[in-house]
């Protein structure tokens, strides 16, 4: 599968590397430092390359959006049309210091960053995923906690896009958990706020994972 990474920081570089190692063709984009971008692609191996943001958007059947909320609109303007693409987002509205509430949207539960993205990218099949995990875990050699894999809830409105996303989540070493329609991004983004706080307050950050138990 061809995947365009919009954002190649902590999350984007780690997720893109994992997918490239699984055999997907990955294009990294959206950095102010092109040398850094080249180094990320080089360390991801022969399935990776770099491009402009618009090139990554054209290249990918799947687009992974991993930018800070503050530059979200700028990033999506640079991307151009994403009509018909699977657009996976982990963008959260958390404040940079993780203190206090989120930036407003998620905790009011009248909207979410993911739904805002769906409005900014008409026709894209938006799926929220990778919000309830840490870049440090994605960067580690393994996602395993002993014999357990962490769960990773995702949500969206397009069944095919969700199935593709679930496969990509599993390939990163998580149990993909279907959390419902895109409206559930409101809850996932609110949960992310507590999730990060809990990890920090308990001192477990970043070596902790969320688990949905089954029996």
Ligand X SMILES: NC(=O)c1ccc[n+]([C@@H]2O[C@H](COP(=O)([O-])OP(=O)(O)OC[C@H]3O[C@@H](n4cnc5c(N)ncnc54)[C@H](OP(=O)(O)O)[C@@H]3O)[C@@H](O)[C@H]2O)c1
Residues forming contacts to ligand X in the complex (CB under 6 A) are 7-12, 30-33, 36, 66-69, 71, 90-92, 94, 131, 134-135
**2 or 208, CB closer to ligand X?**
208
- In the complex, the smallest distance separating the C-beta of residue 95 from ligand X, rounded to whole angstroms, is 10
Residue 171 near residue 130 (C-beta atoms within 8 A): no
- In the complex, the smallest distance separating the C-beta of residue 141 from ligand X, rounded to whole angstroms, is 17
Angstrom distance (rounded) from CA 62 to CA 214: 30
**66 or 164, CB closer to ligand X?**
66
Residue with the CB atom nearest ligand X in the bound state: 9
Angstrom distance (rounded) from CA 40 to CA 42: 5
- In the complex, the smallest distance separating the C-beta of residue 6 from ligand X, rounded to whole angstroms, is 8
- In the complex, the smallest distance separating the C-beta of residue 69 from ligand X, rounded to whole angstroms, is 5
Nearest to 82 by CA among 117, 47, 112: 117
In terms of DSSP bridges, do strands 25-29 and 175-178 run parallel, antiparallel, or are they unpaired?
unpaired
- In the complex, the smallest distance separating the C-beta of residue 37 from ligand X, rounded to whole angstroms, is 7
- In the complex, the smallest distance separating the C-beta of residue 96 from ligand X, rounded to whole angstroms, is 9
């Amino acid at each position: 599968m061809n995947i365009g990474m919009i954002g190649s920081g902590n999350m984007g570089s780690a997720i893109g590397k994992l997918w490239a190692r699984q055999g997907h063709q990955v294009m990294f984009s959206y950095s102010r430092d092109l040398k850094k971008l080249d180094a990320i692609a080089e360390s991801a191996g022969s399935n990776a390359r770099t491009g402009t943001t618009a090139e990554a958007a054209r290249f990918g059947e799947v687009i992974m959006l991993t930018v800070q909320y503050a530059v979200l609109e700028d990033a999506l303007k640079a991307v151009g049309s994403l009509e018909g693409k699977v657009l996976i987002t982990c963008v959260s509205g958390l404040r940079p210091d993780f203190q206090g509430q989120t930036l407003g949207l998620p905790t009011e539960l009248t909207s979410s960053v993911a739904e805002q993205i769906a409005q900014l990218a008409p026709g894209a099949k938006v799926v929220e995923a990778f919000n309830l995990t840490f870049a440090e875990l994605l960067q580690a050699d393994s996602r395993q906690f002993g014999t357990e894999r962490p769960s990773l809830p995702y949500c969206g409105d397009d069944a095919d896009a969700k199935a593709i996303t679930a496969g990509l989540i599993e390939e990163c070493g998580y149990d993909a958990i279907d959390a419902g329609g895109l409206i559930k991004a409101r809850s996932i983004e609110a949960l992310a706020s507590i999730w990060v706080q809990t990890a920090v307050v308990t001192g477990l950050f970043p070596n902790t994972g969320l688990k949905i138990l089954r029996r």
